[in-house]
A and B are shown apart, each in its own frame.
Chain A
């Protein structure tokens, strides 16, 4: 028996795979870029697994065929496929009861949302190594953290950072590492660093794969239904708690979220879950312009998209504004214009 790819366009086979997953209480994700299965002589799928970016997910083995080593074949196939695509650091989501099978295949547990899912990675020193590197940067006193995409950095972000910097000895500013959308991560980070350079107690760090990445929180980047978003946000929170312990962070600052559904849900989950772990979650109201308009990176991207950067000049620090007016930004501006939807859902 061999493992073969199942194309998303093959509605009949995908329907059978969905049914197989449902028999073991798993819902087929809407966002997948590869699915494979083992079929029996009658052409029915008896084992399946899928991948999305660096993550492996949606596994099921027909109960009548368990114990035949089919999962190992599926994982081998998916790992080879992901390596070909250039993903070496792989992650697995699975139900708490199934984590053991993956541990036998060389995966280590990173975090768990009790009763919902376990999150694993294919290296032993991955998350522990990341935490160790962070610990080396630990500073004494009152510490706070902010996690931001800063896509791009606005005066709203600046206000949030300034508020935290005033109220704490050190602010760890975690910047999303992922390249998502037209503004490359390196540029986003540079604009943040330039704009907070005058605040000596702000330390810029990268989130790596462990906070709001397409591994921990794919719903942040792709439209996903509420219930799944909540589970992903809970997983992200569980990882943040570990990071907070490594850096002795007592407070997390977030900006209030009147518009984006996903960030709204994320804030809601954070404000319930963090205090349970002894971390305060401070929601800072969005900065408004004198005319009552709230400052938002989505609004800024929309303005760049519509070729009216000047209309949002009062939302941006000098550094971000100068960048988007410079010739260096022209390919990025062009990429933003090509996007059909630049507003975060």
Chain B
């Protein structure tokens, strides 16, 4: 999926995260801030990148501010931000496909 315009999803409240996507300069550029960076930084990064890969996002500037979110939350917030950035309406969301 292509990042057509900047979009965001999530909040900065505890156990959540805020994902901001912007059109990239060729490739994925991830900036991560997390309240649990030392313990889970690598895992969060992995989940974000895997979700982007599954949605075939190849060119994006990704900013993640994490407040201790669980993996399923991270996945959901990234997916939401991607669909918003792609201008995909509710009907076009591939439920049961790449969104599992």
Contacts and interface: CB of A to CB of B under 8 A. Distances in A.
Interface of A: 69, 72-73, 75-76, 79-80, 83, 88, 104-106, 122-125
Contacts of A80: 8
A76 B31 CA distance: 18
Contact of B63 (A73, A76, A123): A123
A68 to B, nearest CB: 10
A124 B35 CA distance: 16
B73 interface: no
A78 to B, nearest CB: 10
Nearest to A70: B13
B43 interface: no
Nearest to A88: B6
Contact of A79 (B14, B18, B22): B18
A83 B6 contact: yes
Given A72-B67, A76-B18, A79-B18, A105 B31 contact: no
Interface string B38-70: 000000000000000000000000010101000
26 contacts: A69-B13, A69-B14, A72-B12, A73-B11, A73-B12, A75-B12, A76-B11, A76-B12, A76-B13, A79-B8, A83-B6, A83-B7, A83-B20, A88-B6, A88-B22, A104-B33, A105-B12, A105-B33, A105-B65, A106-B12, A106-B18, A106-B31, A106-B63, A123-B63, A124-B31, A125-B31
Interface of B: 6-8, 11-14, 18, 20, 22, 31, 33, 35, 63, 65, 67
Contacts of B20: 83, 88
Given A69-B14, A106-B65, 4 more contacts: A72-B13, A76-B12, A83-B8, A105-B12
9 nearest CB pairs, A to B:
A106-B65, A72-B12, A76-B11, A106-B33, A76-B12, A88-B6, A124-B31, A72-B13, A83-B8
B11 to A, nearest CB: 4
Contacts of A125: 31
Given A73-B11, A105-B65, A123 B18 contact: no
Contacts of A83: 6-8, 20
Contacts of A88: 6, 20, 22
Contacts of A105: 12, 33, 65
A88 B13 CA distance: 20
A57 B29 CA distance: 28
A76 B14 CA distance: 12
Contacts of B8: 79-80, 83
A87 to B, nearest CB: 10
Nearest to A74: B12
Contact of A123 (B11, B14, B31, B35): B31
